[in-house]
Structure 1
């Protein structure tokens, strides 16, 4: 046992006694670390919620090399997405499946070849490695390189996100079982706080600072398949989930996303009526210092930065202001644009590069992935919005990365 502990210390020294300056909390409009220093999320989305249900890119590159590329930009966090289906398998279907099984199920006859590529790029894995163990490995390497993890529940059923007819849109939709969703969040919150080394006073994911309860609520196309699509239902379900997550892991921040593909949280800053006299009152939560708002924005065809700025502010960023009844941090957890043209210099990207750092708001760009194992039925799908190239060996566009670096530097400044 002592030899195992020593090996762990030598392998992951940064995991000892917790990651630097955690846990985090929210204080008015800021996220602050355990020393009281303001922290700004500056990061990238690393998808892991699609059909295979493991983080993308591992057939082409090692986890270490991918994290090193993120680190080279001076980013400090990844938004790592997962599907509830993975937890459903663990709870209801005899346990998590191996990554070998996951590739075979998602990719059919080509699954084994991709699995063998993953082993070649990541020889620490083997035939017994499960999907969740890959997530564990990503988190551990991020900690080793000084990067925090924000975990995001992206989908219930593992698949490409998002549309109004994908069965994952809203509570009660085809694949969106609200009880299993809450159970999945609770399971992951507990999982990241457990460790095989209790004597070291560390945690399984010592660099895990926050969790997003759900990505992009949206009104489902299928009539009659869901609970009413409104703020009242949003409130009751989100509060119930947040209560469970906080009880399971009181250290982590809880991100609340909005409606209409998470483009609006408009009733929240001013504590407006959500229906039935229900209002969101941050001060009423016993874990009020763990709550954060998140929004997405994909106004890629925007022609006016002023219009974008006022829209973002009114849709939720006004919670940053001291005049807000619910003054809270707001993080732009998704925005993005083509990496294959001059979009990085367009109105949309230039505007966000300016206003988000001006507001001292956190952000995570979509997306790291240069390709996907499979997306909407197409295997080895090319992601032209990906910061990485198709084979995850380098950046897709040096010019787009230069523009992004300006945003990073402004946010760090």
Structure 2
């Protein structure tokens, strides 16, 4: 074989999608060829009352995915609720999406929205279930060569997050820790049929309940016990995917983890103690929209977890900013907060997924067809809400791709 032909063959091989499974290597996520992968993506909610990915009453899955692809994003953080798995395991099986709309929106409005969903997505029918809707989204993302990062957003399907929503902490009203672990296992195993599933977030925005109600103390010791036991089970269910560990206080801090600090009672997080150490990553959220100093933001992010990217960290690991965002209806895209993240996250070569794709929600906190001013897309998901904000985001994408 001549050299040019050989080089072309190698290039074709290494460029193949999906090049899974992925793993971690110190601060990096790498694919099966050893090439570094940076998460550059968006959040697509699917954990609210209906418990299917949002927006399907307005657009086809293919149309929505094509918009994500047009920005050169490479991953979607797809959220789900444990309640969906509880129904499958405990309540007679998964609910059809037709019934899910009726339950969440009422008989009349639910049927109307269901008919709109089917019109846009004719592959769905009266027997299509919620998990099959997730399958359809994952399949289209794979078709357009975009990866899936699953995220357990809530236990009970609803809008997230607040201190009084019953989903805050292990043992809270709706947060049954055993069912949570079972749900994670189920989704990790189910996701084996998705060739583009590369990772899963174990829990979104752990937070202190407004009122005492959990039998488990809100501290790092409880975090360690619950998160590591869940990680063991999920890794056993699907050893190919990377597990994202989130922190406390709405996932704004992982401060003791990079330096293997004391979690209480002499317990420390030691990456080297995990048999699947190359399948663990950290995630953080940041919503400092009122920030006035980028230097202060940078210092805070670093100390709250991003120092794990450094070779000097006792636990050097990838850190991904899985949520940040701002209004798409004003000049927030040009403010200190957005401009700072646009600068420092690519400089750190850290992955990210912006909140949020959704221009509207089926229902949010009791309001149907809720307008999402932070949504990258317009209310009807037909196009970008703000061309200026998207231009700023595109600059962040391009910087991260470099």
Displacement of 1:224 in angstroms is 3.5
After superposition, residues 13-412 of structure 1 pair within 5 angstroms as 19-108=17-106, 109-193=108-192, 204-412=193-401
Displacement of 1:411 in angstroms is 0.1
- Paired with 2:200 and 2:149, the residues of 1 have a C-alpha distance of 5
Displacement of 1:223 in angstroms is 1.1
Contact 1:319–1:330 (8 Å) recurs in 2: yes
- Paired with 2:343 and 2:17, the residues of 1 have a C-alpha distance of 31
Aligned to 2:6: none
TM-score (norm 1): 0.93
- Paired with 1:77 and 1:324, the residues of 2 have a C-alpha distance of 27
Secondary structure of the corresponding residue to residue 192 of structure 1? helix
Displacement of 1:253 in angstroms is 0.1
Displacement of 1:19 in angstroms is 4.5
The one-character-per-residue Cα deviations of 1:141-197 (angstroms, maximum 9, x if unpaired) are 00000000000000000000000000000000000000000000000111111xxxx
- Paired with 1:253 and 1:224, the residues of 2 have a C-alpha distance of 32
Please list every run of 5 or more consecutive structure 1 residues that lacks an aligned counterpart in the other structure. 1-17, 194-203
Displacement of 1:221 in angstroms is 1.1
Runs of 4+ more than 3 Å apart: none
- Paired with 1:389 and 1:33, the residues of 2 have a C-alpha distance of 34
Displacement of 1:222 in angstroms is 1.8
The one-character-per-residue Cα deviations of 1:75-129 (angstroms, maximum 9, x if unpaired) are 0000000000000000000000000000000000310000000000100000000
Q: Give the number of aligned pairs.
A: 386
- Paired with 1:85 and 1:21, the residues of 2 have a C-alpha distance of 32
- Paired with 1:40 and 1:381, the residues of 2 have a C-alpha distance of 32
Contact 2:169–2:214 (8 Å) recurs in 1: no
Displacement of 1:20 in angstroms is 2.2
- Paired with 1:63 and 1:226, the residues of 2 have a C-alpha distance of 42
- Paired with 1:42 and 1:221, the residues of 2 have a C-alpha distance of 34
Displacement of 1:315 in angstroms is 0.1
Displacement of 1:225 in angstroms is 3.0
Root-mean-square deviation (CA, aligned residues, Å) is 0.7
Aligned to 1:197: none
1:181–1:126 Cα change, 3 Å:
same
- Paired with 2:389 and 2:320, the residues of 1 have a C-alpha distance of 22
Please list every run of 5 or more consecutive structure 2 residues that lacks an aligned counterpart in the other structure. 1-15
Displacement of 1:345 in angstroms is 0.2
Displacement of 1:21 in angstroms is 1.1
Contact 2:359–2:373 (8 Å) recurs in 1: yes
1:224–1:374 Cα change, 3 Å:
closer
- Paired with 1:19 and 1:376, the residues of 2 have a C-alpha distance of 39
Contact 1:157–1:168 (8 Å) recurs in 2: yes
- Paired with 2:195 and 2:223, the residues of 1 have a C-alpha distance of 30
- Paired with 1:192 and 1:281, the residues of 2 have a C-alpha distance of 28
Secondary structure of the corresponding residue to residue 126 of structure 2? coil
The one-character-per-residue Cα deviations of 1:51-98 (angstroms, maximum 9, x if unpaired) are 000000000000000000000000000000000000000000000000
- Paired with 1:57 and 1:118, the residues of 2 have a C-alpha distance of 9
The one-character-per-residue Cα deviations of 1:293-321 (angstroms, maximum 9, x if unpaired) are 00000000000000000000000000000
Contact 1:19–1:206 (8 Å) recurs in 2: no
